[in-house]
Amino acid sequence: MMFERVLIAEDQESTSISVRKTIEDLNIEDPEYVFYCDDAFARIQKANKIGQPYDLLITDLSFEEDHYIQKIVDGAALIRAAKDEQPGLKVLVFSAEGNPAVIDALIKDLGINGYVRKARHDAKELRLAIEAIAKGNRYFPAQMKVPIKERNTYDFTNYDTTIIALLANGVKQKEIPEYLQDQDIKPSGLSSIEKRLNLIRDVLGFSTNEQLIAYCKDFKII
Amino acid sequence: MMFERVLIAEDQESTSISVRKTIEDLNIEDPEYVFYCDDAFARIQKANKIGQPYDLLITDLSFEEDHYIQKIVDGAALIRAAKDEQPGLKVLVFSAEGNPAVIDALIKDLGINGYVRKARHDAKELRLAIEAIAKGNRYFPAQMKVPIKERNTYDFTNYDTTIIALLANGVKQKEIPEYLQDQDIKPSGLSSIEKRLNLIRDVLGFSTNEQLIAYCKDFKII
DNA sequence: TCTGGTTTTACGGTTTCCCGTAAGGAATAC
DNA sequence: GTATTCCTTACGGGAAACCGTAAAACCAGA
């Protein structure tokens, strides 16, 4: 039982065209497509109201900002809003993001039904993913089963990222307490900050703050 | 006078499909396409040898690594190799990369003829760019004229990036001299390293190494 | 080979960071 | 109320980074 009503949220025109083509190759007529998250949500909302809800949302994760100010600025927020409006909506994420932690979070927190990485055989994969989801299955890249072990998992709290972001902005460690006090963030003592950084470095096996910053940039933690 | 022989180097299948479609819409028959840089270079080389060189190369910048080990691993290297083989070859870069410094380097160092950013209206832009290049013009995003001023331009040498990469890997500053000696990189004195870092931070207006690492990660210098 | 200039290195003082220990404070249990 | 525990902060010694200065090495050209 193939889908009938599909919505594509993807800001890159060229990618959007390809996705549409893949959909049409599956004999799904008139896939709808939008370039902004806000538009996507508006359509989902309206379709749901008039009793003709979408069967599947295919969405990118990162959307470029431009002069049209948007309420929903990325795919994760769109999925959250969409599921809120229509909990049963199937969601397939199509993104270049390769960080397992990010994908894992989407699966766990947002309950997405599939993930296809923009990569060498993405068009073929997209087709397989849609077919799988149509059958009630889920579709995730094969590597997804492995990487859970290899993660030196440390859950960065808001507190952690605040401190690390300050360091990355050139604030010296001993100046951080005043910054935290300004924003009423506790603990603000220099010792607490030192301890925290020490803990993080220790858990991740790092020896310097420089290494930590590099890591956080690589994994988009800051 | 439109192009006759076009080669597309793009590893994302979905994007490749769209680019081909755009080409065909311009009445260019049988655009060739490859998913690996090495394949692209091999075709350019062969075509040149038999006296039927390509008119235009459309290439991405970043190519995903997989189990096929490649000699040429990114678009910049491909362009360099291609221009070496066939200096007159027109090159259009089609990439998600938005950093003006990167694009500028391509224009200055590699003499590319056009750049289209993977973004909201990229398919339309791609068409315009191809038409412009076919007429002997160049095509670059409108914003390209502005950002030259806003750059705190510092030209990172190999030496600089080596040091910074070591820092980002957790090597302590005072340990760096031995690393450099192992690789016969001079100067290797701790003082020289300190001076160099001091200079870089100074030019860019940074106060800490952490800030420098963050910057280098953001701009893909390391 | 000498000389002038540049680059590299060595050295010291100061600041910052690192890290262990202990003192202070707040919340909870008894 | 006070004991216990947990979290936060203060302190101090040692290591590393920072930064200016001066000595040493290097490298032209005469």
Per-residue model confidence (pLDDT) at position A93: 96
Quote helix, strand, coil % in chain A, to nearest 5: 50, 10, 40
Judgement on whether residues A122 and A205 belong to the same structural domain of the protein? no
Per-residue model confidence (pLDDT) at position B133: 95
Q: Does residue B181 belong to any structural domain of this protein?
A: yes
Q: Is the CB of B186 under 7 A from strand C?
A: yes
Judgement on whether residues B126 and B75 belong to the same structural domain of the protein? yes
Entry pTM:
0.74
Instruction: Please report, rounded to whole angstroms, the spatial distance between the CA atom of protein residue B187 and the C1' atom of nucleotide C6.
Output: 14
A19 in contact with B at a CB cutoff of 8 Å? yes
Closest residue of chain A to B118, computed from CA coordinates: A12
What CATH number did the domain enclosing B56 receive? Answer: 3.40.50.2300
Residue A146 pLDDT > 50: no
Judgement on whether residues B119 and B173 belong to the same structural domain of the protein? no
Which 3 state secondary structure label does DSSP give A57?
strand
A123 in contact with B at a CB cutoff of 8 Å? yes
Amino acid in position A203: V
Which 3 state secondary structure label does DSSP give A117?
strand
Residue A50 pLDDT > 80: yes
Q: Is the CB of B190 under 7 A from strand C?
A: yes
Judgement on whether residues A141 and A156 belong to the same structural domain of the protein? no
Per-residue model confidence (pLDDT) at position A47: 96
Instruction: Work out the mean pLDDT of chain A and round it to a whole number.
Output: 89
Q: Report, in ranges, which bases of strand D sit under 7 Å from a protein C-beta.
A: 7-11, 16-22
User: Please, are residues B197 and B163 in contact by the beta-carbon 8 Å criterion?
Assistant: yes
Q: What's the rounded Cα separation, in Å, for the pair B171 and B169? A: 6
Instruction: Please report, rounded to whole angstroms, the spatial distance between the CA atom of protein residue A62 and the C1' atom of nucleotide C16.
Output: 39
Q: Does residue B103 belong to any structural domain of this protein?
A: yes
**Reported confidence tier of residue A53, pLDDT bands at 50, 70, 90:** very high
Domain end call among B148, B173, B205: B148
Judgement on whether residues A138 and A161 belong to the same structural domain of the protein? no
- Distance from the Cα of B84 to chain A's closest Cα (Å) equals 27
Judgement on whether residues B156 and B89 belong to the same structural domain of the protein? no
Q: What's the rounded Cα separation, in Å, for the pair B104 and B146? A: 12
Q: Does residue A41 belong to any structural domain of this protein?
A: yes
Phi, psi of A10 (to 5 degrees): -160, 125
Range picked from A34-48, A147-161, B181-195 for highest mean pLDDT? A34-48
Which among A199, A176, A197, A205 has a CA at the least distance from the CA of A188? A176
Judgement on whether residues A141 and A172 belong to the same structural domain of the protein? no
Judgement on whether residues A15 and A99 belong to the same structural domain of the protein? yes
Query: Three-class SS string for B131-184?
Result: HHHHCCCCECCHHHHCCCCCCCCCCCCHHHHHHHHHHHCCCCHHHHHHHHHHCC
Judgement on whether residues B40 and B62 belong to the same structural domain of the protein? yes
Per-residue model confidence (pLDDT) at position A98: 79
Domain count, chain B: 2
Residue A150 pLDDT > 60: no
Per-residue model confidence (pLDDT) at position A143: 66
- Write A74-78 long-range contacts (CB < 8 A, 24+): A74/A37, A75/A9, A75/A37, A76/A106, A76/A110, A77/A37, A78/A9, A78/A37, A78/A40, A78/A41
User: Please, are residues B115 and B139 in contact by the beta-carbon 8 Å criterion?
Assistant: yes
Per-residue model confidence (pLDDT) at position A156: 82
Which residues in chain B land under pLDDT 50?
146-151
Judgement on whether residues A109 and A195 belong to the same structural domain of the protein? no
Average pLDDT, integer, range A157-185: 90
User: Please, are residues A6 and A55 in contact by the beta-carbon 8 Å criterion?
Assistant: yes
Domain end call among A106, A131, A148: A148
Per-residue model confidence (pLDDT) at position B186: 80
* Subunit contact A64:B119, Cβ cutoff 8 A: yes
Condensed to tens digits (0 to 9), the pLDDT of residues A26-35 reads 999 889 999 9
Closest residue of chain B to A94, computed from CA coordinates: B14
Q: Does residue B88 belong to any structural domain of this protein?
A: yes
* Subunit contact B170:A210, Cβ cutoff 8 A: yes
Given the structure tokens 């080596």, which residue do they identify? B162
Domain end call among A115, A148, A181: A148
Q: Does residue A1 belong to any structural domain of this protein?
A: no
Judgement on whether residues B107 and B208 belong to the same structural domain of the protein? no
Condensed to tens digits (0 to 9), the pLDDT of residues A107-140 reads 888 889 999 999 999 999 999 999 999 999 999 9
Q: Which residues between 192 and 221 in chain A have a beta carbon less than 8 angstroms from any beta carbon of chain B? A: 206-211, 213-214, 217-218
Judgement on whether residues B192 and B173 belong to the same structural domain of the protein? yes
Instruction: Tell me A58's DSSP state.
Output: E
Residue A13 pLDDT > 70: yes
Q: Does residue B1 belong to any structural domain of this protein?
A: no
Q: Does residue B19 belong to any structural domain of this protein?
A: yes
Residue A151 pLDDT > 80: no
Q: Measure CB to CB from residue A13 to each of B96, B124, B217 and give the nearest one.
A: B124
CB contacts, 8 Å: A209 with chain B: 209-210
User: Please, are residues A193 and A173 in contact by the beta-carbon 8 Å criterion?
Assistant: yes
Tokens of A175: 């100046």
Q: Which residue of B210, B218, B220 is the best one to mutate when testing the A interface, meaning the one whose CB has the most A CBs within 10 A? A: B210
Residue B75 bridge partners (DSSP): none
Domain span at residue A126? 6-148
- Distance from the Cα of B48 to chain A's closest Cα (Å) equals 27
